[in-house]
Amino acid sequence: MGAFYAWAALIPRPELKGRPVVIGGAGGRSVVLSATDEARAFGVTSAMPMARARRLCPQAIVIQPDHRRYA
Protein backbone atom coordinates (compact mmCIF):
# COMPACT_ATOMS: atom_id res chain seq x y z
CA MET A 1 0.00 0.00 0.00
CA GLY A 2 2.95 2.36 0.41
CA ALA A 3 3.13 2.88 -3.35
CA PHE A 4 -0.64 2.99 -3.95
CA TYR A 5 -0.71 6.59 -5.15
CA ALA A 6 2.24 6.00 -7.49
CA TRP A 7 0.62 2.88 -8.95
CA ALA A 8 -2.65 4.76 -9.43
CA ALA A 9 -0.78 7.52 -11.27
CA LEU A 10 0.71 4.97 -13.68
CA ILE A 11 -2.65 3.56 -14.82
CA PRO A 12 -3.28 6.34 -17.39
CA ARG A 13 0.48 6.64 -18.12
CA PRO A 14 1.78 3.10 -18.78
CA GLU A 15 4.83 4.49 -20.57
CA LEU A 16 6.22 5.43 -17.13
CA LYS A 17 6.25 1.85 -15.81
CA GLY A 18 9.75 0.81 -14.83
CA ARG A 19 10.89 4.43 -14.37
CA PRO A 20 11.39 6.31 -11.09
CA VAL A 21 8.17 8.22 -10.41
CA VAL A 22 7.46 10.40 -7.37
CA ILE A 23 4.02 11.70 -6.44
CA GLY A 24 4.18 15.03 -4.64
CA GLY A 25 3.86 18.76 -4.86
CA ALA A 26 6.13 21.11 -6.72
CA GLY A 27 6.36 23.77 -3.99
CA GLY A 28 9.39 24.38 -1.84
CA ARG A 29 7.80 22.85 1.26
CA SER A 30 6.16 19.88 -0.47
CA VAL A 31 6.63 16.29 0.60
CA VAL A 32 6.57 12.95 -1.21
CA LEU A 33 3.14 11.35 -1.11
CA SER A 34 4.28 8.13 -2.78
CA ALA A 35 7.05 6.71 -4.96
CA THR A 36 7.51 3.75 -7.27
CA ASP A 37 9.91 0.96 -6.38
CA GLU A 38 12.38 2.39 -8.90
CA ALA A 39 12.46 5.72 -7.02
CA ARG A 40 12.57 3.93 -3.65
CA ALA A 41 15.75 2.17 -4.80
CA PHE A 42 17.41 5.60 -4.69
CA GLY A 43 16.22 6.15 -1.10
CA VAL A 44 13.05 8.15 -1.82
CA THR A 45 10.35 7.51 0.80
CA SER A 46 6.89 8.80 1.63
CA ALA A 47 6.76 11.99 3.74
CA MET A 48 10.29 12.95 2.63
CA PRO A 49 10.75 16.58 1.60
CA MET A 50 10.55 16.86 -2.20
CA ALA A 51 13.82 18.79 -2.28
CA ARG A 52 15.63 15.82 -0.72
CA ALA A 53 13.87 13.35 -3.02
CA ARG A 54 15.03 15.36 -6.04
CA ARG A 55 18.60 15.32 -4.76
CA LEU A 56 18.50 11.54 -4.21
CA CYS A 57 16.86 10.79 -7.56
CA PRO A 58 17.23 13.73 -9.97
CA GLN A 59 15.99 11.63 -12.90
CA ALA A 60 12.65 10.96 -11.16
CA ILE A 61 9.47 12.02 -12.89
CA VAL A 62 7.40 14.10 -10.48
CA ILE A 63 3.63 13.93 -10.80
CA GLN A 64 1.19 16.14 -8.92
CA PRO A 65 -1.28 14.23 -6.71
CA ASP A 66 -4.74 13.61 -8.18
CA HIS A 67 -6.99 13.07 -5.16
CA ARG A 68 -10.09 12.54 -7.32
CA ARG A 69 -8.43 9.49 -8.88
CA TYR A 70 -7.53 8.06 -5.46
CA ALA A 71 -11.11 8.33 -4.22
pLDDT tens for residues 2-30? 789 999 999 999 999 999 999 999 877 89
The pLDDT tens digits for 28-65 are: 789 999 999 999 999 999 999 999 999 999 999 999 99
**Rounded Cα distance, 38 and 22, in Å:** 10
pTM for the model stands at 0.89
CB 32 within 8 Å of CB 46: yes
